[in-house]
Amino acid sequence: MSGNVVRTAPPHAGSTAYINARIVDPIADKEYLGAILISDGRIADFGPNLFTSGAPYGIQSIDCGGLCLAPGIVDTRVHTGEPGEEHKETLESAGIAAAAGGITSMVLLPDNDPPFDDASLIEFVARRARQIKLTNMYAYGALTAGLEGKELAEIGLLAEAGALAFTDADHAIGNAQVLRRALYYAKAFDALIVHLPQEPTLSGGSMTSGEMATRLGLSGSPPLAEVMMVERDIRLVEMTGGRLHLTKISTAESVKVIAAAKARGLKITCDTAAPYFALNDLAVGDYRTFGKLMPPLRSEKDRLAVVDGLADGTIDAIVSDHRPQDQDSKRVPFAQAMPGGIGLETLLPVSLELVHNEQLTLPRLFQRLSSTPARLFNLPGGKLAKGAPADLVVFDPNFAWKIDRVDFWSKTKNSPFDERPVQGRVMATIVGGRTIYRDDAFAPETAAA
């Protein structure tokens, strides 16, 4: 990425107006040419008729030149290596990559070493975020002790320490009794349980089952391993009345079953990650380990069903599922490679393909990227509203470029989208009124009126 990351720049001492912008408002489900006024790190005003004759005296004015201005992305599925594997990614390098990707808030998965099953680690993340001064950082609490799927973690203490929700990350809870207890217990704190639905004894293959796996001679994980767990989890929600968020939905059958559960009024929400609507199992190609993910890339039929699920609202949110892996983890035979791909810097341009393909409008896309995840996880950003944090992204939806892993800010380069042509580029990222990232191609006209 060609741009500048700024950590310490304070917000403008007075007020700042972003004018001549294509405002994307996910809550109102519309877009229009208008302006946003920021004061003391918050949105003071916005709308199509604001400053049509220019900003008044004493207000710094930034002309966006018709670029899009939207709520910053809220990414609720990010893994870093800190603590434990800082050579893969630190909180600082992840914060830099997120800033370059237009992500203003991110929620960190708990599968570190040690895992986030202790309140001190939740507090550690909050402290480091204050020191780094980039994107807002929050942490999941572990759902079970040691992420072992046996005994519940101290959900109450973790919630008091600031854990946003509870999950065992990419470790599926195979024991139905454990998840049932978790759903019951979490109700007392109105806590959200996030679960990856993959039946553990069926989902250990190197890639998805099918013609491609057979041709490459690789062990397969059947798509049914996902929907079997989805159906089990829905029954547990029926039994307990708890809240459950299913993550990284990747199959047509899962989308169908979740839609039916929502129609029955169950407290079920879900997300998918960018690879599952943008790639299929052909991306594994000639044993390309950057295409080894968890769950694995699915068939084209499944990919299209995920797109349809995003379009009709069955799938509530889009996440990056950022999971850095070092060269030693990826430059090995496919069966031995660790799953995972980085995604902070590619989340917006890849997601914009849904807009360019006329599958989502820009406001609907930012419902999936910003406003809905913020609402589900009870975060203050992700929306345009008076008094809301001025967490914003300026982007050019039509800027054509080619993803090149060499240019990533992230410490590791394992992107499944490497060398993919895309349209859409982050031009500036604003957190609490501070511009923390600016692309070299963004040279707004600035004046202190």
Inter-CA distances, 325 with 101, 281, 378, Å: 19, 20, 30
How far is residue 161 CA from its own chain's centroid?
22
The string of DSSP letters for 394-421 reads EEEEEEEEE--GGG-SSS----TTTT-E
What is the C-alpha separation between 394 and 426, in angstroms, rounded? 6
Q: Which of 321, 391, 396, 418 is catalytic?
A: 321
The two three-digit tokens of residue 343, written as one number: 């995604």
DSSP state of 341: B
What is the C-alpha separation between 418 and 35, in angstroms, rounded? 35
CB 101 within 8 A of CB 395: no
CB 272 within 8 A of CB 310: yes
What is the C-alpha separation between 196 and 111, in angstroms, rounded? 13
What is the C-alpha separation between 85 and 329, in angstroms, rounded? 12
Calculate Rg over the CA atoms of the chain: 21
Instruction: Verify whether residue 321 is a known catalytic residue.
Output: yes
Coil/strand/helix, residue 46: strand
Backbone angles phi, psi at 238, to 5 degrees: -60, -40
What is the C-alpha separation between 345 and 415, in angstroms, rounded? 10
CB 297 within 8 A of CB 281: yes
Q: Which residues are catalytic?
A: 321
